[in-house]
Amino acid sequence: MEELPLSRAFTLIEPGPVILLTTHDGQADNIMTLTWSMVLDFSPTFAIATGPWNHSYAALRDTGECVLSIPSASMIDTAVGIGTCSGENTDKFEKFALTRAKARHVQAPLIRECIGQVECRVADITGRHNIIVLEGLAAWTGGTHADQRMIHAVGDGTFIADGERFDRKDMMRSKLPGGL
């Protein structure tokens, strides 16, 4: 085995899906790219990590709502581009030619080009670790997108796209919630 510097240990665990988080601050929509997220259990409860250094944070904190949008692997350059500019001086929907769609429960828009979306309300914000707990209100998936693969950030500027899917639902049935 080769030792990995402890400062890079997060690259072993980080690869959840890249998320495009949308907000609406009462005047404008914004999008930010997130790579730090987690599912908290089988309920629609999620946690993300962000803080005041991101332009979207104030809207997220003040409105208490957002949309988590999952881009496909074919959107990798869009996701990286969104993450490398600020909504403070950029209309990211316009710059990246993304289509807004009206959400059912929140003012933040859905992104029509994404393969999955979850409308959310903020349930808790922990200041010490900049963790925001979100409760899902509605979820959307699929559509007509040919590329259904998710992208995962490793944390070092490289990404992984989903590949072959292994179905073990029958083997895991006793551990899964009903209906899956």
In this prediction the pTM is 0.89
Question: Is residue 21 pLDDT above 80, yes or no?
Answer: yes
**How far apart, in whole angstroms, are the C-alpha atoms of residue 67 and residue 53?**
19
More confident: 48 or 128: 48
Confidence of residue 127 (pLDDT cuts 50, 70, 90): confident
Confidence of residue 22 (pLDDT cuts 50, 70, 90): very high
Which pLDDT score is estimated for 5? 79
CATH superfamily of 17-175: Electron Transport, Fmn-binding Protein; Chain A (2.30.110.10)
CB 31 within 8 A of CB 98: yes
> Among residues 51, 92, 72, which one has the least CA distance to residue 151?
72
Q: Per residue in 90-121, pLDDT tens? A: 999 999 999 999 999 999 999 999 999 999 99
Confidence of residue 178 (pLDDT cuts 50, 70, 90): confident
- The mean of the pLDDT values for the chain is 90
Query: Tokens for 180?
Result: 């899956």
List the beta bridge partners of residue 60.
none
**How far apart, in whole angstroms, are the C-alpha atoms of residue 99 and residue 114?**
10
Which pLDDT score is estimated for 164? 79
Query: What number is the average pLDDT over the span 68-83?
Result: 95
**How far apart, in whole angstroms, are the C-alpha atoms of residue 21 and residue 127?**
19
Question: Is residue 47 pLDDT above 60, yes or no?
Answer: yes
| Burial class of 61 by CB neighbour count within 10 A (0 to 12, 13 to 18, 19+) | middle
Question: Is residue 15 pLDDT above 60, yes or no?
Answer: no
Q: Where are the beta strands (DSSP E) in 35-99?
A: 37-39, 45-49, 65-70
Which pLDDT score is estimated for 12? 65
Number of Cα atoms under 13 Å in the Cβ half of residue 135: 7
Query: What number is the average pLDDT over the span 60-68?
Result: 97
